[in-house]
Copies of this chain bind each other. A is one copy, B any other.
C-alpha cells in the first residue's frame, strides 16, 4: 500500500501531533459546484450513485476545485434500504421517496438480507475507481446512515416534519422497531466492512435524525445500534466518525460507542464538548453552513471562532456543522479551506 501524500485528516482523527488542522466539507461533492451540476444535468441522482465513473468524477471535483484534505465517496444513505428491496425514487424538489414504506411486520419480513459485494457492488466499484483516480493524494471516506436514521425514512416513506409514523412505531410496537433496527444494523455493518475492504480510509455514520428523540429514546433506538455496528467493523487503522446531528447531551455515552471521531453540528459549542470528551475522541465540525452566505471576512471571523473554541492541540477536523448548501458560492468554500490551511498552524505549536 502506497503512502498517502496528505494524511493530515487521518492523523487528526487519531489525535496525533500535526502541523495544521485538516478540513473537508460535508456534501462537498454537490450542487454548489457548477462542475457537479454539469455532470448532474445529464443523469439523475441515483444513476450518478450507481455509475462508478460518474460517482468517482464528482467525488474528486472538490479535491481539485476546493482543495479539501479528504474525499468522501459520492453516494446516498438510502442505497441500503433500496438494496434491502425497497423501491426508491428521487423526486425532484421533494427529496427521496419510498412509495411502499414499512408499516407492519409483513413489510419488515419482506426486507432481504443484503450481500454488499452483489447488491451494492456499484459502490465498491466506485470506491476502487476513485482510489485509483485519487492516486493517493488524500484519504477517501465512505459513509452510511445510522440504523435509526434509515428507519425513519423507511417508515415515513420520505422526509417528515413530525415523524409521526416512525414515532408511532417505536412507541406502539417497540419489538418490531428493534427487529427492524437489528436487521438494518447488520446491513450497515456488512456494507461498511465491504467499503473498508474495497479501500476507504475512514467511514462516517450519519445519524441525521437522532435529534428528534428524547435522550433516553436516542440511547435505546439509535446509539445502541451505532455501538453494535462499530463493534463489528473490521477496521485496522481506519477511523470511524459518528455524526449525531441535533444532539445536545449524552456526550460521554456518545464517546463510548467506539467511534474515533464525533461529528458536531453548529448548535453546540465545540470547546465545551471537548472539555467533556476531548481526551477520548477527536471532534469534527462545526461551523454553521449558512456562514458561507457571508463575505470572506465574516467567514474568516466565524472559522476563527470555531478554532478558538476547540483550542490548541490535535484532534480537530474542521468541517461545517451540516452539508454545504446548494446556493453557496464555490469561492466562499475555497476561501474557507484556504483560511484553515493557512491560519490553523498556530493551534498546533508544541
Q: What is the interface of chain A, defined by CB distance below 8 A to chain B?
A: 162-164, 167-168, 171-172, 211-217, 246, 248-249, 266-269, 272, 288, 290-291, 293-295, 298, 305, 321, 325, 327
Instruction: Choose among B217, B268, B294 the residue that contacts A248 (Cβ–Cβ < 8 A).
Output: B268
Assess whether B290 is in contact with A215, with CB atoms less than 8 Å apart: no
Known: A267-B211, A272-B249. A168 touches B216 (CB 8 A): no
Q: Whose C-beta in chain B lies nearest to the C-beta of A294?
A: B171
What is the total number of copies of this protein in its complex?
Answer: 2
Assess whether A167 is in contact with B293, with CB atoms less than 8 Å apart: yes
Q: Shortest CB–CB separation between residue A309 and chain B, in angstroms?
A: 9
Q: Whose C-beta in chain B lies nearest to the C-beta of A290?
A: B167
Q: Shortest CB–CB separation between residue A268 and chain B, in angstroms?
A: 6
Q: Give A211 to B246 CA distance when docked, in angstroms.
A: 9
Given contacts A168-B290, A171-B293, A171-B294, 13 further A-B contacts (CB under 8 A): A163-B290, A167-B290, A167-B293, A171-B291, A171-B298, A172-B294, A214-B288, A214-B321, A217-B288, A248-B268, A249-B268, A249-B269, A249-B272
Instruction: Choose among B213, B266, B272, B325 the residue that contacts A214 (Cβ–Cβ < 8 A).
Output: B266
Assess whether B171 is in contact with A215, with CB atoms less than 8 Å apart: no
Q: Give A288 to B163 CA distance when docked, in angstroms.
A: 12
Assess whether B164 is in contact with A293, with CB atoms less than 8 Å apart: yes
Q: Whose C-beta in chain B lies nearest to the C-beta of A165?
A: B293
Q: Give A339 to B248 CA distance when docked, in angstroms.
A: 29
Instruction: Choose among B163, B269, B293 the residue that contacts A172 (Cβ–Cβ < 8 A).
Output: B293
Chain B residues near A249 (CB-CB < 8 A):
248, 268-269, 272
Q: Shortest CB–CB separation between residue A27 and chain B, in angstroms?
A: 12
Instruction: Choose among B163, B246, B290 the residue that contacts A164 (Cβ–Cβ < 8 A).
Output: B290
Chain B residues near A163 (CB-CB < 8 A):
290
Q: Shortest CB–CB separation between residue A171 and chain B, in angstroms?
A: 4
Q: Shortest CB–CB separation between residue A153 and chain B, in angstroms?
A: 16
Q: Whose C-beta in chain B lies nearest to the C-beta of A328?
A: B164
Q: Whose C-beta in chain B lies nearest to the C-beta of A172?
A: B294
Chain B residues near A172 (CB-CB < 8 A):
293-295, 298
